[in-house]
Structure formats: C-alpha cells, structure tokens
Structure 1
Amino acid sequence: MNFDQAIERVLSHEDGYVNNPADPGRETKWGISKRSYPNVDIKNLTRTQAIDIYRRDFWSRVHADELFGGVAYQCLDFAVNSGIETAIRYLQRALNVADDGHWGPITVAAAKSMTETDQIMRLNAERLDFMRKLTGWASFSSGWAGRIAGNLRYGAVDA
C-alpha cells in the first residue's frame, strides 16, 4: 500500500465541509480541522491541498514508509481521526512497547518482529478502546465504530 492508495481510503471517510459544535474537530473539510490548521481557509480547502497536508504532515510523521502497507494505512487513518501522536502511541501499545509517542529504534524493531495481520488487529483493538473512552462516544460511536469495522475489512484484504 502506498500513500496514494491509503489517502483514497481515508478521504472516502472525510469529505465535505462540516462545522459541528459537538465534534472535537469543529470546522473541518477533508478531515483537516481549523483547530489543527488555524491559518488554513478550511471552507475553501481543496482536495488536492488536503492531500498535500496529509502527505507532508501525517504520512511522514507516522513513519508509514517503515510499516507494512496495511499497517501504514491503519496508522494514517487513526492519525487523521485522532491525531498523529495518538496514532503512534496506540501503535506502540499494539506492538507491546512503551507508548511514548516517539518513533525510534525500539518501535521499529517491534514493528519488524510482528506480523502485519497481528499489528492491524491489535491496532484496531487499541483504537476502539481509545475511542470508547472519549466524551464524544455517545454522539459519534456509530460512525467511529463503523469506520473501524471498515478498517478491519481492509485489514483482511491487506494482510
């Protein structure tokens, strides 16, 4: 799985302009939030601009090129939905290493020592547990759980 394939999957979940006061991201388009990008004109953000942000700020920061393709997608999707450091920390939990949010040699070694299938399954389990504890779970659980269910389906194909 490369970035172009992964971002198409992510954007299938992240389309259109939304400004929901109950959503922690508040004003978003293509999954890019005003909260994270205060200097970006979110309402007029193009798909191409969003893809450029995801390649620069998300794909590279989750070290996707160092992961199995299926895990790279899962990590990117988690980062888009919950933040980059959160995605890295929960991947580290799935890999049974300290969840400090920093990519280093211990995380790399753990990722190389575990199968792609195990990483995908464990990461999605960690993600679901994380999301169940969020205050927005009551409002957004159906969509979040559905997204994770879809990612498990992708995982079955990818691994």
Structure 2
Amino acid sequence: MRDNLDECLTLIFGSEGGYVNHPKDPGGATKYGITAATLGAHRGLGRPATPNEVKALSLAEATRILEAQYARSIRFDDLPAGIDYAVLDFAVNSGPAQAAKTLQRALGVNPDGVIGERTIEAIMNRQQPTLINLYCDERLAFLKKLKTWSTFGKGWARRVAEVRAGAIKMSRGSSVLTPVTATGTAKALPADTKATATSGGKGSIMATIGVATTTVSATTDKLAPLAGAGNKLIDYAFTGLTVVGVLLSVAGIALVARSQLRALRSGAPV
C-alpha cells in the first residue's frame, strides 16, 4: 500500500513530535522518532549523532530515514492497509525486528524478525481488524515489560490506543487524517513545524487546539487505571475519549505535516 505511506508517516511524526532528550530514555536525543544512533548510522558518521545534530534534523531527512530503514525493513508496501501503519509505528518506536517478531507471534509463525512470504501469507489469511487488535495487545504487553514503563507508560498506552483506532479505520478503507474546518480542532505540531495564519483561519485553529487536546488527554489518563475493571460505562468512556484524542491529534498534523510530505515528493522547499 505505497499510497498509504504518506498518511502513516504523517501520523507517526505527529506521535513522535520534535526534539526530545529525556534523561531516562535509553535512546537519548531523538527527533521525529530518529535517535542519535540511527541518525549517525544513516549519515555514516561512525558514531551516534550529537544532540545538536539531532536537533537540526530536517523533516525531509527524517522521511528518507523512515522510508529506507523502517518501511523497507517491514515490507510496508506488501502489507494491507492498517496493518502497515500498526507495524511501521511499532518499528519506529521499538525497532523493525521487534515489530516483526511481535507480528509473527500474533500470527503463530516463526518469530525470526524478518517478514517473509510465509508471514505475508499468514497476514492475508486473517481478518485485518482482528489481527490489528491482537497485534496492538501484544505490543502493549511488550511495552509493559520494559523497565521504563513507569516513566513512559501512560504515553505509550495512549499511543497504542491511537494506533489501534487509526489502523482499524484504515483497514476499512477510510483515511485517518481529516480536513480541518474553521470550527475544527487539532493538536499542536512539533515546535519547528510552522503553521501559517492563512487559509481558513489555520492560525486561530492552532491557537485553540492545545486546550482541547490537553483536556481530553488529562481525562483519559484519569480513566486509564479504571478501564478494563468490569465497569462498562468507564470502558465506553475511555474508548470514546481515545477516539476523540485520535481525531484531535491527526487534524492538526494534517494542516502542515501532510502538506510538507507532499512538498517533499514534488521537490518543493519545505
């Protein structure tokens, strides 16, 4: 599903955000999901990139890295819509080999970390929404075993929930990215991604977006520990807020990141 790649990259860039260098993150300095080690290897530096080099990473170079080192590694073009997004997002978050092994375990095939013809065949013989749910369950179980879960767990759980909802929507033939209208809301973009105050009031939309997203995220965080405890009302509320969070997140991303990716394809400056 090559025509699905731009949408998936837009969503992943929105999830990863801009430059971060959390002291408890073993990946160190990261931008757009690209770690210092990955950037250094891509540039042939023979060493991890410095924090300043990571901070200066452009969206164009990040796109090339994700396509070459992640999308190609998981055979993105051969995966059905929805599965491609779920596996690529996991690959960027935890590495292509781990994403592939988790997929293979969900399918019941040999988890060698290399997506081959047997894995592809097994995927095609499964109901895609069912497989996406199983895959996201396996991904969440993997993340909960990491020693950094206590630090990053809430964010990871929210991300997996967003990917689950978005991937299932894709598998049913719908785009996750939706146009933003003058009354729409969206999530703030990475700090170095600029939006202009033109074209239907994008600037004013972006100014009000963070409030809505923060409110939804805070409420979801409060409900997360209670979800799955047998209270159907809370479970429905948690699921509903998660879906709302997806819509809030992707709408703003669509304002800029998608247009930048299209510009990259056409060779225009970004």
TM-fit CA distance, 1:125: 0.7
State whether residues 89 and 101 of structure 1, in contact with CA within 8 Å, keep that contact through their aligned partners in structure 2. yes
Corresponding residue of 1:90: 102
Larger CA deviation: 75-84 vs 100-109: 100-109
Corresponding residue of 2:32: 30
State TM-score, norm by structure 1: 0.95
State whether residues 86 and 164 of structure 2, in contact with CA within 8 Å, keep that contact through their aligned partners in structure 1. no
Instruction: After superposition, give the CA deviation of every residue in 1:13-67 in whole Å (9 maximum; x if it has no partner).
Output: 1121111120121110111001333335212101111011101111111111111
State TM-score, norm by structure 2: 0.57
- In the alignment, the residues of structure 1 paired with residue 109 and residue 158 of structure 2 have an alpha-carbon distance, to the nearest angstrom, of 28
State whether residues 74 and 87 of structure 2, in contact with CA within 8 Å, keep that contact through their aligned partners in structure 1. yes
Larger CA deviation: 140-149 vs 31-40: 31-40
Instruction: After superposition, give the CA deviation of every residue in 1:112-145 in whole Å (9 maximum; x if it has no partner).
Output: 1112112211110110000000000010000000
- Work out the number of aligned pairs and report it: 159
Are positions 1:56 and 2:68 aligned together? Answer: yes
Amino acid at match of 1:46: S
- In the alignment, the residues of structure 2 paired with residue 8 and residue 86 of structure 1 have an alpha-carbon distance, to the nearest angstrom, of 22
Partner of 1:103: helix, strand, or coil? coil
Q: Which runs of 4+ in 1 moved over 3 A?
A: none
TM-fit CA distance, 1:102: 1.5
State whether residues 82 and 168 of structure 2, in contact with CA within 8 Å, keep that contact through their aligned partners in structure 1. no
Instruction: After superposition, give the CA deviation of every residue in 1:46-91 in whole Å (9 maximum; x if it has no partner).
Output: 1111011101111111111111110001111000000010000001
Q: Aligned residues: percent identity?
A: 36
Q: 1:46 aligns with which of 58, 76, 92?
A: 58
Partner of 1:135: helix, strand, or coil? coil
Partner of 1:148: helix, strand, or coil? helix
Query: What is the correspondence of 1:1-159 to structure 2 with a 5 Å cutoff?
Result: 2-38=4-40, 39=45, 40=49, 41-159=53-171
- In the alignment, the residues of structure 2 paired with residue 20 and residue 84 of structure 1 have an alpha-carbon distance, to the nearest angstrom, of 22
State whether residues 131 and 137 of structure 1, in contact with CA within 8 Å, keep that contact through their aligned partners in structure 2. yes
Amino acid at match of 1:145: A
- Structure 2 unaligned blocks of 5 or more: 172-270
TM-fit CA distance, 1:103: 1.9
Q: Which has the larger radius of gyration?
A: 2
- Structure 1 unaligned blocks of 5 or more: none
Amino acid at match of 2:148: G
RMSD: 1.2
Partner of 2:20: helix, strand, or coil? strand
TM-fit CA distance, 1:96: 1.2
- In the alignment, the residues of structure 2 paired with residue 54 and residue 155 of structure 1 have an alpha-carbon distance, to the nearest angstrom, of 18
Amino acid at match of 1:75: V
